[in-house]
Each structure stands twice: as structure tokens, then as C-alpha cells.
A and B are shown apart, each in its own frame.
Chain A
Amino acid sequence: MSSTSIINLPNQQTARMPKNHYLNSGYGLKSWALTLDHKRIAILYLLTTLFFFCIGGLMAALMRLELLTPAGDLVASDTYNKLFSIHGIIMVFFFLVPIAPAVLGNFLIPIMIGAKDVAFPKLNLLSYYIFLIGGFFELYSIIWGGVDTGWTFTTPLSTHYVNTNVISAAMGIFIAGFSSILTGLNFVVTIHRLRAPGMTWFRLPLFIWSYYATAIIFILATPVIAITMVLIAMERVFGIGVFDPALGGDPILFQHLFWFYSHPAVYVMILPGMGVMSEVVGCFSRKRVFGYTAVAFSSVAIAVFSFFVWAHHMFIMGISNYSALVFSLFSMLVAIPSAIKVFNWSATMYKGSITFETPMLYAFSFIGLFTIGGLTGVMLASLGMDIHMTETYFVVAHFHYVMVGGMVSAVMCGLHFWWPKITGRMYPEQLGKLAASTLFIGFNLTFFPQFILGYLGMPRRYHAYPAEFQVLNVMSTAGASILAIGYLLPAMYFLWSLKYGAIAGSNPWQATGLEWQIQSPPLKDNFEEIPVVDFEAYDYEWLANKTRHEVTNVG
């Protein structure tokens, strides 16, 4: 291999897949449906969340098609309302929230800390089925007439004025919420109690710290949305007015309860991505992540701050000016731990031996796009700006930069990085780089024009718009079609690689971390013997010493 790549595959003539691994430890539907193996549960989650991603993506495609022309000609306004509601609900609750924790977290947390499984394997399986039931509720409400409240379920619109499937949609979220709670609980207990001998808190990979912070948010925030959804459903069924001003209720109370969950949930959608970044940036710079402790604690700080910023979604809803001032300040403070991370990743790359494999390209894309998304967030946190920008495309562009540009890049990054570990095979590297570049270009073309649209005053959630906005909207729609190629391409070569990909060997990236020291795909119990950890995280010298004397090529 040339010096521009660190990929280290075994000799393909002699390499064989391991004889026993978790994928061939049992065959048939039952061995998957009733599995207690955290790795198989991760795969189940992966397939399910990708299915939901396709639905959400389809809705987005229809919306972009409608917005190609100023007139509302493709779909009626009612249908358009349903499209963006379903897009939001599916993408937030059934894709972004579960994809990183339940897929990458389930697969990697036990292996990274040197455990055979999560603390409560049965609970893990149960939370998958709870998620599935929640998903069925959601599918029911989509297929039998849709729901058109927006993903925010704003009262009293959702409780009194619409006649779509609010109850089943709310119940779907309520049920799926318990899946998040149980997953979070499982992760916290696993990280606290199941670390291998010698795996102290400050030897943990930063991935684990991020997921720990995510799990804390799951545990503390999700129950609040659960009860809020129950109250919405009860209000619709029985017509009593906790949130109905006509009967003395307070719709603002709903907003408080909803955003008390939904703002921390936004960090659920970015913290795991930050964990992936720390792993990938360290690996492809061949350096220990700069400022390990600062990065670790900034994850926890983001989780803590996330509980004190929710009212910044409510600046125009008539909350008191003083509380708006405080929430504005706290919202800006979140930028500090986020910036600590971005600066530390940059400092890690500084004077590192950087190589440009596919995961690293996604990592670059994450860091850039997340920074734009984060800084526009600071703009929105300032009160004057926010009042001008609320409910415009500026907000839409801001959170898509964080969630799609940030989180989806991170998920793609993580999937590429750990794909050889999950399946034992490599994807085609050149196609991977092409896909990463396509995603980056498509994403920016889709969402950057929306910043300008929002600044010029185009409101969100309308299916028609004045003709002067058409050029930017056409750019956005064109970008969306490029973005779609950026998603379809990996889907195709990932499937291809399952059968034809090069055999990856245990450590194709020459990375540190316990997951790379075992065979790929891993054994059903991960480790033949629980490892004793006597090295620090990201210790590339340790790894070099260890591999120097290893025989990797026989014959």
C-alpha cells in the first residue's frame, strides 16, 4: 500500500472469513427474532431504522418536487401538511433518535468496554420490539389518512382543530419513547458495571463518553415526552382541556413539556455523532485525540446544558422577556462545549499523519457542516435575530445542517468505519470516496440556498411561494436529487460488499480500541477471554509495538 492509505488488508489469496462468528452462530428467523446478542439486535435496528429513513426520505422528495414551482400544483396544501408532518415525525423519532444509539451503540458499546453483552440482553430485545410496535402505530397513522400537525403536535391545533390520526401518531411516539428509555438505561448500567478489568473511566474511548451522555438524556428527557403524548391523546379522546385555552388550559404548558424533551432530544441526535468523530479523527490522524479529558467532559456538559435551553423554541410564544433572556444566554453557552470538541478534533489533525479514506471524508464533512449548523444556532439563540428568523427556512436550514449535515454524515462515517467489523468485508474504497463527496455537494446545494430563502423571509410549511424565490428553490431541489444519489450509492455497494467485498481481517484501519483487537465479524460472545486493559485509549505507539511482532501473513 502506498503511504497515502493506512488500509491494511490480509492477503486476499489466503484470507478466509473466521469459522465462527455472530452471523453464523445460528440460522433461521427464530435465531434473529429471539436473539439476545447485542450485535444481532443492532442489525435488526439498522434494518428497521433504514426502512423508516426511506419513508421519511420519500416524503422529503415529494416536498422538494412540490417546491420546484411557486404554485402549489403537485399536491394540495392539506397533503403538503401531511408530508412535512410525517417527514418530521419519522425522521426525528424513528430514524435520528434510534439510528446512532440503537445501531452503532448496541453493536459497539459492549465490545469497546470489553464486555460480552449489554447489562440486560432481554431488556435490549424488548426495547427493539417496543420500538417496532411504536413504528406500527406510526405506519398505521400514515397509511390510514396521515397526520398533519407537524412533528411538534402544537396545541390546541393537534387537540381540537385537526381531524387526522393524531392519537395513533402520539401513541406511536409514546411507545417508541419507552424503547429509548430502556436503551438508555441499558447503556448506563453497561458502561458503569460491565467495563473490563483495567478499563477505567479515562481509558474509555470517547465514543463511550458520548453515548453515556446520550443515555443520560434518554433517561431524563424521554419520560416527559411520554406523559405529554398521553395528555394529548387523553385531551383528544375525552375533550378535557389541560391544553385548551377555551376551558382554562394553557397551550404554553404543552410547549414547555414538549420542548423539555425535544430540545435535549436534539442533542441525542448529535452527541453520538460526536463520539464517532472522535474515533475516526483519531484513527486517520494516527494520534491520540487532543485534550481527551476536555472532549470527554464536553459531552457530559452538552447533556447537562441541554436541559436548560428548551424555551429558546418559544421566544415568540409570549414567554416573559426575562426568562427569554436567560434561555438565550444558556443556549449560547451550549456553543462552548461544542466548540471544545471541534477545536480538539482540529488540534488532533494538526501535525497528524492524515489519510483520506472514506470515513475521514465523512468526518471532514461532519466537522464543517456541524460548525455551520452550530454557528447559525448561536445566531438563532440571540433574541432579535430569532424573532426575525422564526418559522422561516433559515431555521429549517439550521437544523438540517446539524441533523443531516452533522448526524447523517456521522452515521455514514460510522457505518463505513465499522462496516468491516460488522460484516467482515470491505466496501469498495473508491466508490466510498465518490459517495462521500456526492453527499457533501448534494447536501450543501440542498440546504445552503435555504439559509438565504429564510433570510429573505420565506416561511416554512407552505406548499406555494412567491415567484421571486424560485431560483433558490430549484437549486435546493436539484441538490436534493444529488443527495439522494449520495444515499443510494452506499446502499448499493454495501449490499454488494456483503458477498464480493475484500476480506477485511481484524483490523483494516490499524486502529486502537478493543473492537479492533478481535476477529471480524466478532464471535457471538465477543471475546474468548475478557481482556485486561493495560493501555490508554488511542495509544498508537502501543498498537505499533503490539503489531510489530505479529505474523499477519502466513505462507
Chain B
Amino acid sequence: MDSQVIANDPEETQSAHEHSPHLVHHYATMDQQVESASFGMWIFLLTEIMFFGGMFMAYLLYRNWYYDAFVAGSNLLSIQFGTAMTTILIVSSFTVAMGVFCSETRNRKGLVAALSLTLVLGISFLCMKGTEWHGIYVEHHVPGPNFSIETFVHPTDARDVPMSPDAAQHTQIFFFLYFALTGIHALHMVIGCSVLIFLLIRARQGAYTDGNPTMIHNFGLYWHFVDIVWIFLFPLLYLISRHPLK
């Protein structure tokens, strides 16, 4: 709350002090507390953008340097798989939004249902991610000593001509960035799902539907953010470069 407003109307802030059972002692009003929590969450998301930003920078640079290698790497990822994962995440964003709605309208059953659905969707996303990683592992495309360059074909050649070993080595950088970006995204999903389990247990006991939806609201912000990161990852890793310039 703007301090000027509080200054102009000190009585109101004083009277609100007694009411809400959710008010922590160092806040004057419930409004102030809720706004602080959500403001803090937004700033946290800002730091997350900077956190991913370093890797996006690296992606941008190497994509410009090793265009062919990035095309070859990108072609090995399954577009159907990626689309399915994207759909799952978008639906989970919807269920989280429904959870926030239910929490605000004090609908306990609705909240539990929405959060459970979100958890199921989140875990299925992680399972699909794991499957995809396993596939890459089997084909020896995990960067490191076991990396194999045999299966890469030159993107601008219609026939299946192997890439030059030099250029094919650079796909390692593509796959490293792929694992770094999707890995840290998946880590965020794991953290999200863990928090979700905690919220579910509390929500079943009646928390968050008693007039204090802040926690669910902030979790929703986090979940949407993780989704949005994926919305950037999906085109960068799966979609663009699939049809190389001739």
C-alpha cells in the first residue's frame, strides 16, 4: 500500500489490525501483507528470467556460429513428442488458474481437484521428458566421452550424407545446451511438483480456501512462469531450424 495513503487515513489501517487471523505481526494490514507476498514473487520471477537468460544467450551465440550443427541436432528431436509436452503444460496452466479461482471462491473440493490434476499433468510432463532423455542417451547423443557423431546427416543435402566430423562435433554443443536448458527447466518442474504435493495436503485440510489464497496465487505465478520458459524452449529446440535454408 502506498505509504501516503496510510498517512492520510491512519484510522483505517489501525482498525484492520485486529481482524484477520492470517496477518503476520510486522504487517499493518492484510492488504499490505498480500501485496508484499505477490510483489516478492514477481521479483523472484525476474531473477529467474536472468537465470535462464545466461543460457539463452549461449544458445543464441552458438546457433549463429554452428547453424548446420544446430539444424542437425534439432532434426533428431521428435516434434510430436515436443507438441505433446507443450499441450500438457498449457493444460496444466489452465488447471492451476482454476485452482486459484477455486481458492478465491473458497471452494475446497474444486481446489483439491485442480491441484491434483495439475500434479498429474506435471508428473506426466516429467515422465515424457525422462523418456525423451533416455532416447537420446540410447543413441549416444549425451555430450561427453560417449558422444557419437555417426547419425548426423548434413541438413542441406537431400541425400543422407554424413556431416563432416568437425561440424558434427558441434552438435555436442547443441545437445549440451538442450540438456542444460531442459534439465534446469525440469528441475523447476520437480520443485514445482514438490511444492504442489505440500499445497495439496494443506488444501485437503482446508487451508487456502479460508480467505487467504495468497500462497496458491503465488504458486500459480511460479507454475505459469515455468510454463512460459517451456513456451520459449519448444520453438528454440524443436521447431526453428527444422527446415534449413537451401
Indicate if A40 sits at the interface (CB-CB under 8 A): no
- Which residues of A lie under 8 Å from residue B27 when comparing CB positions? 194
Nearest CB in chain B to that of A534: its residue: B7
Residue contact B25 to A242, C-beta cutoff 8 Å: no
Residue B158, interface by CB 8 Å: no
Which residue from chain A places its CB closest to the CB of B5 in the assembled complex?
Answer: A197
Q: Does B91 contact A (CB under 8 A)?
A: no
Binary contact readout A206-242 vs B (1 if CB under 8 angstroms, 0 otherwise)? 0000000000000111111011101100100011111
Q: For the complex, what is the distance from the CA of A4 to the CA of B56, rounded to whole Å? A: 60
A291 at the interface (CB under 8 A from B): no
If A193-B39, A239-B145, A250-B61 touch, does A121 touch B7 (CB 8 Å cutoff)?
no
Do B3 and A220 touch across chains, with their CB atoms under 8 A apart?
no
Question: Are the C-beta atoms of A195 and B3 separated by less than 8 Å?
Answer: yes
- Out of A198, A248, A256, name the residue touching B3 (CB < 8 Å): A198
Most buried by A among B7, B47, B176, B184: B47
Interface pair A119/B36, CB less than 8 Å apart: yes
Contact among B47, B62, B172 with A222 in the assembled complex (CB-CB below 8 Å): B47
Q: Which residues on B sit within 8 Å (CB–CB) of A257?
A: 54, 57-58
CB-defined A-B contacts under 8 Å, sample of 11? A116-B25, A197-B10, A199-B3, A224-B54, A227-B51, A228-B54, A238-B144, A241-B172, A242-B173, A248-B173, A257-B58
Q: Which residues of B contact A194 (CB under 8 A)?
A: 26-27, 32, 36
Residues of A within 8 A of B1 (CB): 193
Q: How large is the interface on A (under 10, 10 to 19, 20 to 34, 35 or more residues)?
A: 35 or more
Q: Is the CB of A227 within 8 A of B172?
A: no
A530 within 8 A of B: yes
Decide if B180 is an interface residue (CB 8 Å cutoff): yes
What's the minimum C-beta distance from B86 to chain A, rounded to whole angstroms? 24
Q: Looking at the assembled complex, report how far the CB atom of B53 sits from the nearest CB atom of chain A, in whole angstroms.
A: 7
Asked whether A249 lies within 8 Å of B3 as measured between CB atoms, the reply is no
Instruction: Determine whether the beta carbon of B3 is less than 8 Å from that of A242.
Output: no
Closest to B175 in A: A240
Tell me the chain B residues, 27-51 only, with Cβ under 8 Å from chain A. 27-28, 32, 35-36, 39-40, 43-44, 46-48, 50-51
In the assembled complex, the Cα of A120 lies from the Cα of B26 at a distance in Å of 10
Separation of A200 and B152 alpha carbons in the complex (Å)? 63
Tell me the nearest residue of chain A to B40, going by C-beta.
A189
* Binary contact readout A172-204 vs B (1 if CB under 8 angstroms, 0 otherwise): 000000000100011011001111111110000
Residue B55 at the chain A interface, CB threshold 8 Å = yes
- Distance to closest chain A CB from B166 (angstroms): 8
CB within 8 Å of B: which residues of A?
115-117, 119-121, 123, 181, 185-186, 188-189, 192-200, 219-224, 226-228, 230-231, 234, 238-242, 247-250, 253, 256-257, 260, 525, 530, 532-533
B140-184 interface code vs A (CB 8 A; 1 in, 0 out): 000111000000000000000000000001101100110010001
The interface residues of chain A lying within 8 Å CB-to-CB of B55 are: 227, 231
Determine the distance from Cα of A530 to Cα of B10 in the docked complex, in whole angstroms.
Answer: 11
Do A121 and B26 touch (CB < 8 A)? Answer: yes
Residues in A neighbouring B234, C-beta threshold 8 A? none
A223 near B3 (CB under 8 angstroms)? no
B13 in contact (CB, < 8 A) = yes
Q: Which of B35, B51, B172 contacts A223 (CB 8 A)?
A: B51
Q: Is B4 part of the contact surface with A, judged by Cβ < 8 Å?
A: yes
Whole-angstrom distance from the CB of B132 to the nearest CB of chain A?
19
Encoded as 1 (CB less than 8 Å from any A CB) or 0, chain B from 220 to 234 comes to: 000000000000000
Bound: A194/B214 CA distance, A: 18
- Give the chain B neighbours of A116 by CB distance below 8 A: 25-26
Answer whether residue B66 sits at the interface, using C-beta atoms and an 8 A cutoff: yes
Which of chain A's residues have a CB closer than 8 A to the CB of B25?
Answer: 116, 525
Q: How near does chain B come to A528, taking the closest CB pair, in angstroms?
A: 13
Given contacts A193-B36, A219-B43, A228-B54, 20 further A-B contacts (CB under 8 A): A121-B26, A189-B43, A194-B27, A195-B3, A197-B7, A197-B10, A219-B46, A220-B46, A223-B48, A223-B53, A227-B55, A230-B184, A231-B54, A231-B58, A240-B172, A240-B173, A240-B176, A248-B169, A260-B54, A533-B7
Q: How far is the CB of A356 from chain B (nearest CB, A)?
A: 36
State whether B36 touches A197 (Cβ < 8 A).
Answer: no
Chain A's nearest CB lies how many Å from the CB of B191?
13
- B172 is contacted by which of A193, A221, A247, A530 (Cβ under 8 Å)? A247
* Chain B nearest Cβ from A245, distance in angstroms: 12
B166 and chain A: residue at smallest CB distance: A248
Residues of chain B from 50 to 93 with CB closer than 8 A to chain A in the complex: 50-55, 57-58, 61-62, 65-66
Whether A248 touches B170, Cβ cut-off 8 Å, given contacts A224-B51, A253-B58, A525-B25, is yes
Indicate if the CB atoms of B36 and A242 lie closer than 8 Å: no
Whether B169 lies near A247 (C-beta < 8 A) is yes
In the complex, residue of chain B having the shortest beta-carbon distance to the beta carbon of A258: B54
CA of A186 to CA of B52 in the docked complex: distance in angstroms? 21
Does A234 lie within 8 Å of B180, measured CB to CB? yes
B27, B32, B177 — most chain A CB neighbours (10 Å): B27
Which residue on B lies nearest to A227, using beta carbons?
Answer: B54
Kindly state the separation between the CA atoms of A400 and B52 in the bound complex, as whole angstroms.
33
Contacts of A260 in B (CB 8 A): 54
Given A247-B173, A525-B26, A193-B35 contact (CB < 8 Å): yes
- CB neighbours of B47 from chain A (8 A): 181, 185, 219-220, 222-223
In the complex, what residue of chain A is closest to B56 when comparing beta carbons?
A: A227
Closest to A256 in B: B57
Chain A residue nearest to B17 in the complex (CB): A530
Closest to A114 in B: B3
Instruction: Collect the chain A residues with CB atoms within 8 Å of residue B53's CB.
Output: 223-224
Is B6's CB within 8 Å of the partner chain A? yes
Closest to A190 in B: B36
A120 close to B40 (CB less than 8 A): yes
Partner of A224, one of B44, B46, B50: B50
Instruction: Name B144's contact: one of A197, A227, A239 (CB within 8 Å).
Output: A239
Residues of B within 8 A of A195 (CB): 3
Contacts of B26 in A (CB 8 A): 115-117, 121, 194, 525
Question: Are B28 and A185 in contact, CB atoms less than 8 angstroms apart?
Answer: no
Of the candidates A181, A193, A231, A239, the one whose C-beta lies within 8 Å of that of B180 is A231
Complex contacts, A223 vs chain B, CB 8 Å: 47-48, 50-51, 53-54
> For residue A178, which residue of chain B has the nearest CB?
B47
List B contacts of A181 (CB < 8 A).
Answer: 47
Closest B residue, CB atoms, query A182: B44
The interface centre, meaning the residue of A234, A242, A257, A525 with most chain B CB atoms within 10 A of its CB, is: A242
B165 to chain A, nearest CB (A): 12
The 10 A-B pairs of least Cβ separation, nearest first, read A223-B51, A116-B26, A223-B50, A198-B7, A240-B143, A227-B54, A117-B26, A197-B6, A193-B36, A197-B7
